[in-house]
Every structure is written in C-alpha cells, then in structure tokens.
Amino acid sequence: MAGILENNFAQQEHLMLDFEPMDAIHREFLTLCAALAQADQNAYLERLDALIAHTVLHFEQENQWMQVHDFPSAGCHRREHNAVLDVIRDVRTCTLQGDFEVGMRLAQELPNWFSHHVDTMDAALAKFLRETDAAAATAA
C-alpha cells in the first residue's frame, strides 16, 4: 500500500499545470485518492465521503472559473465532471449495499481517469486561465 501512495506522489509533478490554485486542489485530490486506495472495509466509506466532499468543491471551483471567464469548452468539461461524480456516488451506493470490490476498483481507476482528465480538459483550462491572468496583468 505504501507503493500506491508513493506512486501518487511521484505522479504529482507530472500532473501539475503551472496554475497554483488548480494544482493545490489537484494535490488534495491525489492525496484523498491514495487514502481511499489504502482503506480497509471499515475506513472506506469515511474516506470515500471525504473524497466526494472534496470533489464537489473541486469541480464547482473549475466550473466557476469556466463560467466567469467564458471558457469555450465549458459544456464538455462540466459534463465530464458531472458524469464522474455520478459514478462515484453510484459506487457509494454499491458499497453501502456491501459491494466493497466495486469500491476498490473505483480507488484503482480514479487516478487513471484523473491523469487523462488533467492532460486534456484541465490542462486546456489551466492554460486559458494563465493567459487570462497574464492579459489582466498586462491591462492593469
């Protein structure tokens, strides 16, 4: 299990997007994913709820950035956020019904989904926000 945690931390540098407000959120997401992957059956639900609480705020923050700055691909990005949250909540229901294996599969798959999401949608948003910030600084 220590390997999973080390792996996640090793991945963090690769996943950073040079936009600190988003990178800070993403570090927290990875830490919570690693904690979930190490959870036994007793600790699982509490850690999943911590991850859900974080993810709601994480996605709301990105959705808000997209809305405020009129980001062109906002609809697609927002839909993916909603779809992932739906999956996580479905898994929560399954684990409540006693299916711990589907919970562990989620813990294994979430970092893979996240890596892809960061490389595509979040990277595009971070670049847009960096340029928006730079434009605002130039105009000031």
Instruction: Tell me the C-alpha distance between 72 and 70, whole Å.
Output: 6
Question: Minimum Å distance from CB 61 to Fe ion?
Answer: 8
DSSP labels for 105-136? HHHHHHHHHHHHHIIIIIHHHHHHHHHHHHHH
Q: Which is nearer to Fe ion, 48 or 62 (CB)?
A: 62
Options 8-16, 30-38, 54-62, 85-93: segment touching Fe ion (CB under 5 A) = 54-62
Alpha helix stretches (DSSP H) within 69-99: 74-96
Q: The tokens 């999943």 sit on which residue? A: 48
Sketch the per residue contact string, 107 through 136, with Fe ion: x for CB under 5 A, - otherwise: ---------------x--------------
Answer for the pair 40, 51: CB distance below 8 angstroms, yes or no: no
- Provide the minimum distance between the beta carbon of 77 and Fe ion in the complex, in angstroms, as a whole number: 6
- Nearer residue to Fe ion within complex by CB, 62 or 111: 62
Q: Which one of residues 33, 37, 62, 128 is an interface residue with Fe ion (CB under 5 A)?
A: 62
Residues of the shown chain interacting with Fe ion in the complex, contacts defined by CB under 5 A? 62, 122
